[in-house]
Amino acid sequence: MSHLLQSTFIPTTPTTLRRCSVFPTTHLRKTHVVESKIREIFMPALSSTMTEGKIVSWVKSEGDKLAKGESVVVVESDKADMDVESFYDGYLANIIVPEGSSASVGSTIALLAESEDEISLAKSKTLTTVSSSSQETPPATVTEEVSPVASPVAAAVSLSSDAVKIASAIHPASEGGKRVVASPYAKKLAKELGLDLRGVVGSGPNGRIVAKDVEAAAAAASDGAAPIGVAAAALKPSGSAPAAPVVDLGTTVPFTTMQNAVSRNMVESLAVPTFRVGYTITTNALDSLYKKIKSKGVTMTALLAKATALALAKHPVVNSSCRGGKSFTYNSSINIAVAVAIDGGLITPVLQDADKVDLYSLSRKWKELVDKARAKQLQPHQYTTGTFTLSNLGMFGVDRFDAILPPGTGAIMAVGASQPTLVGTKDGRIGVKNQMQVNVTADHRVIYGADLASFLQTLAQIIEDPKDLTL
Partner 1 sequence: MQSSISLSLSSPSTICRSDSSSPAAASNGNVNLLNPRSLRFCGLRREAFGLNSSISMRRIESSSVTRRPCSNRILASLSGNGAPSKEFDYDLVIIGAGVGGHGAALHAVEKGLKTAIIEGDVVGGTCVNRGCVPSKALLAVSGRMRELQNEHHMKSFGLQVAAAGYDRQAVADHANNLASKIRSNLTNSMKSLGVDILTGFGSILGPQKVKYGDTVITAKDIIIATGSVPMVPKGIEVDGKTVITSDHALKLEFIPQWIAIVGSGYIGLEFSDVYTALGSEVTFVEALDQLMPGFDPEIGKLAQRVLINPRKIDYHTGVFASKITPAKDGKPVTIELIDAKTKELKDTLEVDAALIATGRAPFTQGLGLENINVQTQRGFVPVDSRMRVIDASGELVPHLYCIGDANGKMMLAHAASAQGISVVEQVTGKDHVLNHLSIPAACFTHPEISMVGLTEPQAREKAEKEGFEIGIAKTSFKANTKALAENEGEGIAKLIYRPDNGEILGVHIFGMHAADLIHEASNAIAMGTRIQDIKYAVHAHPTLSEVIDELFKAAKVKANTSSPAAEPVAA
* Residues contributing to the site for partner 1 (CB under 8 A): 1-2, 5-6, 9-11, 14, 16-17, 56-57, 74, 79-81, 173, 179, 181, 183-185, 187-188, 204-206, 208, 210-211, 252
> What's the closest the beta carbon of residue 219 comes to partner 1, in angstroms?
19
Choice between 242 and 324, CB closer to partner 1? 324
> What's the closest the beta carbon of residue 247 comes to partner 1, in angstroms?
18
Q: What is the DSSP letter of 144?
A: S
> What's the closest the beta carbon of residue 188 comes to partner 1, in angstroms?
7
CA angle 69, 70, 71 (to 5 degrees): 120
Residue 206's SS3 state is: helix
> What's the closest the beta carbon of residue 327 comes to partner 1, in angstroms?
20
Contacts of residue 85, Cβ cutoff 8 Å, sequence gap at least 6: 19, 20, 21, 22, 69, 70, 71, 72
Choice between 14 and 176, CB closer to partner 1? 14
CA angle 305, 310, 313 (to 5 degrees): 120
Choice between 20 and 398, CB closer to partner 1? 20
Q: What is the DSSP string of 20-75?
A: EE--------SS----TTEEEEEPP--STT-SEEEEEEESS-TT-EE-TT-EEEEE
CA distance to 1, 3, 13, 18, per residue, from 7 (Å): 10, 6, 11, 20
Alpha carbon distance 235, 396 (integer Å): 16
> What's the closest the beta carbon of residue 394 comes to partner 1, in angstroms?
38
Choice between 173 and 230, CB closer to partner 1? 173
Choice between 208 and 374, CB closer to partner 1? 208
Give which of 17, 154, 23 is closest to 82, Cα–Cα: 17
- Give residue 349's identity as a one-letter amino acid code: P
Choice between 213 and 451, CB closer to partner 1? 213
Out of 171, 315, 381, 444, the active site residue is: 444
Helices (H), 152-275: 156-159, 184-193, 211-225, 228-231, 257-269
Q: Give the other-Cβ count within 10 Å of 196's Cβ.
A: 10
> What's the closest the beta carbon of residue 324 comes to partner 1, in angstroms?
17
Contacts of residue 25, Cβ cutoff 8 Å, sequence gap at least 6: 39, 40, 42
- Find out whether 353 and 331 touch, Cβ atoms under 8 Å: no
CA distance to 10, 13, 84, 88, 291, per residue, from 17 (Å): 14, 12, 10, 22, 74
Choice between 20 and 210, CB closer to partner 1? 210
> What's the closest the beta carbon of residue 192 comes to partner 1, in angstroms?
11
The answer to whether 444 is a known catalytic residue is yes
Alpha carbon distance 150, 92 (integer Å): 44
Would you name the residues annotated as active-site residues?
444
